[in-house]
Amino acid sequence: MIHPMLGEAWLAMGANRLRTALTMLGMVIGVGAVVIMMAIGQGAQYAVQQTISTMGSNLFIVLSGSFTTAGVRSGSAGAPTLNVADGEAIAELDGVANVAPTHQGTRQLVYGSQNWSSQVIGTTPEYLDARAWNIVNGAGFGDSDVRSATRVAIIGKTVAENLFGDDDPIGKTMRIQQNPFIVIGVLGSKGQNLDGRDQDDTVIIPLSTAQRKVFGTPFLGSVRMIMVQADSAEGMPRVMESVSSLLRQRHRLRDGMPDDFFMRNLSAAAESEAETTRTMSILLGAIASISLLVGGIGIMNIMLVSVTERTREIGIRMAIGARQRDILSQFLLEAVMISFAGCLLGLLLGLGIALAVNALTGMVIVVSGSSALIAFAVAAGVGIFFGWYPAQKAARLDPIEALRYQ
Amino acid sequence: MPPMANAAVIRVAGLGKSYETAAGLFPALKGVDLDVRPGEFIAIMGPSGSGKSTFMNLLGCLDTPTVGDYFLAGENVAQMDKDALALLRNRTLGFVFQGFNLLPRMTLQDNVALPLVYAGVDRETRQQRARELLAKVGLGQYAESLPSRISGGQQQRVAIARALVNRPRLILADEPTGNLDSHTSEEIMRLFEELNGEGITIVLVTHEPDIAAHCKRQVRFLDGQIVSDHLTVVDGGDA
């Protein structure tokens, strides 16, 4: 039953090619717009996700507290309230994947006749695990390097390029604060973080070496910052809760006394960024679907005209035995075919424009199978929804009236 | 009077149809009784407004009566729903119209096969049957042509082939020669006579006595009632 009807729908579409093409154009533009907008929106989401994943997931930092001297308050991490033992205690908690006490600052690096200012991070080997950072050349340092405060350094890609140029940095000696450090590893590239800072412009050295030789510290064993990684995103709030109560207990803070440390959820900022782009892409999709709606109304309009024009044909069909549902499905099929063909062309158009945008501007574009599938489902839905009323109108014609129609 | 050999194809009893008009209820048909036996060839005659078109619409299951009974091949049509009526039109009746009413975008073969599509017959059988009937009405060579390529008389032959494609019990022809010249009309009437000779029952509406003369029985309508019903008098050379 469906097979001959497909052929007939095809004939009917071909009978008025320009009109069919213009009706389809509405769907082409609608679906094209949705595809482009979704590609751009998902591209933005993907870009943010990429940036977030370079930062490391499920991270938060604990900073040592501030102090006040003669009314002048230091910022966070001003008071030496955190120490390495705190970090070791945190590592024992449930749901904690990695703990890395860090001490960082900006220092001038010197190699041969070159010099370069960069961020120096003194930390433990867990830091690289927490931030999911690979070493692409050479090796990292171990716990023994931290214990014995060896002067070894792992450098980021930007540092390697600026300081060593084409030389292989591995085994070379550079100076930080007059102290010679042997470069033992080069980090893989992470690019910019969400603030736009170059994450590759970094030198990582053992925490003990940093405190003794580079930054100096008022109390040996104290740290400014401890980076903590939770097992899972869901576990984050619970882990932060237990770290807080652990530190209050260790620092002997009674109820009512303020914390002598700060905690910041690094992932939260990233999550909100991701949320923003998600909202943006939904908004873009919503705006684009308005044009899909307009396309659908175009189909309805043309189908109504078509039903009126073909009243006599409908009468003939009814006279020779077409039931109401035969007429209904005939016109519905026609609407769905126009919608589908328009959708297919719109998909190609949208894809083409998305690729062109990508090629011309370098903007990240993501076209997923699911967005194509959604577009098709929507097209079928639009065809049926906007084709229903005209088809119903055709099916309910009185055969005698319809046969008399000129 | 009609032969009484078999059960009636059509049995109409007290059939009436009224229309709502601005001036009130207008009775287009006032209690009509008629039996049509298998193999009959009846002309329905009468001036316009006599109720013959209303009667034909009821016979054709395109409309339902206000009062009375209509038995088509033994089934009472009067109370059937729209789908059941569509099924009857498809399986039991064949229509031939004054204006031919072929679908202009379809080939003649597809036009003839169209009732079989609604009957759910497979493609192979549809095409074969349509070709057979086109050959029967002498237009086998035009199977792939569009209706606009052939003359009016030929189009009416195609319409007759379409009416026959589902092997109906009854052919209803509404002024089938109204749009044709007298020569072509003669040809079409000879085709009807031929079909009737093969045992097909035909009811034909016309206002031309020449055309009615081809039929075996003549029923005349006036003011919504049958005023005369007699067998055709065979006079001279006219059959």
CA torsion angle for A141, A142, A147, A152 (degrees, to 10)? -10
> Distance (Å) from the C-alpha of residue B90 to the closest C-alpha of chain A?
4
CA distance B175 to B208: 9
3-state secondary structure of A161: helix
**Using one digit for the tens of pLDDT, what is the confidence trace for A42-97?**
888 888 877 777 777 788 888 887 666 666 666 655 667 888 888 889 988 888 98
For residues A381 and A203, what is the distance between their CA atoms, to the nearest angstrom?
57
Quick check: A321 and B103 CB within 8 A? no
Instruction: Say if residue B101 is exposed, middle or buried (CB neighbours under 10 Å; 0-12, 13-18, 19+).
Output: buried
Q: How many angstroms separate the CA of residue B150 from the nearest CA in chain A?
A: 19
Angle between helices A311-319 and B82-91 (to 10 degrees): 70
Pick the residue from chain B with its C-alpha nearest to A1. B120
What's the pLDDT tens digit per position in A218-260?
677 788 889 999 888 888 889 998 999 998 988 888 888 888 8
pLDDT of residue B192: 94
Supply the pLDDT for residue B239: 42
Interface of B with A (CB under 8 A): 57, 60, 62-63, 82-83, 86-87, 89-91, 95, 97, 101, 103, 105-106, 114-115, 117-120, 123, 162, 166
Highest mean pLDDT out of A103-117, A283-297, B93-107: B93-107
Q: How confident is the model at residue B164 (pLDDT cuts 50, 70, 90)?
A: very high
Q: Concatenate the DSSP letters of all residues of A1-14 into one string.
A: -HHHHHHHHHHHHH
d(CA B234, CA B239): 6
Q: Which residues of B touch A316 (CB under 8 A)?
A: 101, 103
**Chain A residues near residue B87 by CB distance under 8 angstroms:** 321, 323
CB atoms within 10 A of CB A18: 7
Distance from CA of B200 to the nearest CA of A (A): 18
Q: DSSP assignment of A72-83, as one string?
A: EEP-TT-S--EE
Place of tokens 């016979």: B59
**Which of A313, A320, A406 to mutate to probe the B interface, most B CBs <10 Å?**
A320
Q: Do A403 and B97 touch (CB under 8 A)?
A: yes
* pLDDT single digits (tens) A342-393: 988 998 998 899 889 888 888 888 877 777 787 778 777 888 899 999 999 9
CB B136 within 8 Å of CB B167: no
Cα A278 to Cα A48: distance, rounded to the nearest angstrom: 10
Task: Specify the pTM.
Answer: 0.70
